[in-house]
Amino acid sequence: MMSNAEVLKELVPVTARGEATRRKLLAAAEEEFGGKGFHAASVSSITTRAGVGQGTFYLYFHSKDEIFITLVREIGRKLRKQMLATAGGVVDRLEAERCNLQGFLEFTQQHPGLYRIVQEAQFVDEPVFREYYERLAKGYSEGLSDAVRRGEISPGDAEARAWALMGIGHFLGMHWCLWQGKLPEPGVVDDVMKMVSHGLTA
């Protein structure tokens, strides 16, 4: 069975003004879905927040499902871009891991609806939910494998390590950024990086 993302053909604006309107709709959708959840949000609430008519919405998206799926993918793309930018120019892998973690936490702070939107994707379109995490893990795995080849970190299962590191970031972001509404103190990140670097060995 094909997912919603496979069935729907994306409508792509052909002008700068059209792209600006599409971005405005996505920003409004992020606030609506992040604040209300998928089922409580509606096309009309999204267009009202965006300041455009409902007819305009359908020039860019076929349905509420499609804009939600597009939003999940857009959030993933922006997150990967921010993490790369935060670690830009850093050669040492362990320092890059610190930058990646910091970039993720900062992104989570900037996008308070992130957790709700991504978790609801599991029930709206599971393949897109899995794609979100698998694309993150793929980039992590490749970076870790490269670092092993350069002799920066010890050999190990890059895929398992990638998912473990993602889990650390995920729950740190949930505890501090989502539930407390703030970035963790620098000492928290320091302690986490000590664990990443040396494990739990006494």
pLDDT at 6: 47
pLDDT digits (tens, 9 = 90+) for 131-188: 999 999 999 999 999 999 999 999 999 999 999 999 999 999 999 999 999 999 999 9
Residue 2 pLDDT class (50, 70, 90 cuts): very low
Q: What is the mean pLDDT of the chain?
A: 92
pLDDT digits (tens, 9 = 90+) for 96-146: 999 999 999 999 999 999 999 999 999 999 999 999 999 999 999 999 999
Percent of the chain's residues with pLDDT above 70: 93
Residue 1 pLDDT class (50, 70, 90 cuts): very low
pLDDT at 7: 44
pTM of the model: 0.90
pLDDT digits (tens, 9 = 90+) for 72-95: 999 999 999 998 898 877 889 999
Catalogue all structural domains in the chain, each as residue range(s) with its CATH number: 4-198 (1.10.357.10)
Q: What is the DSSP string of the chain?
A: ---HHHHSPPP---SHHHHHHHHHHHHHHHHHHHHH-TTT--HHHHHHHHT--HHHHTTT-SSHHHHHHHHHHHHHHHHHHHHHHHTTT--SHHHHHHHHHHHHHHHHHH-TTHHHHHHHHHHH-HHHHHHHHHHHHHHHHHHHHHHHHTTSS----HHHHHHHHHHHHHHHIIIIIITTSSPPPHHHHHHHHHHHHHTT--
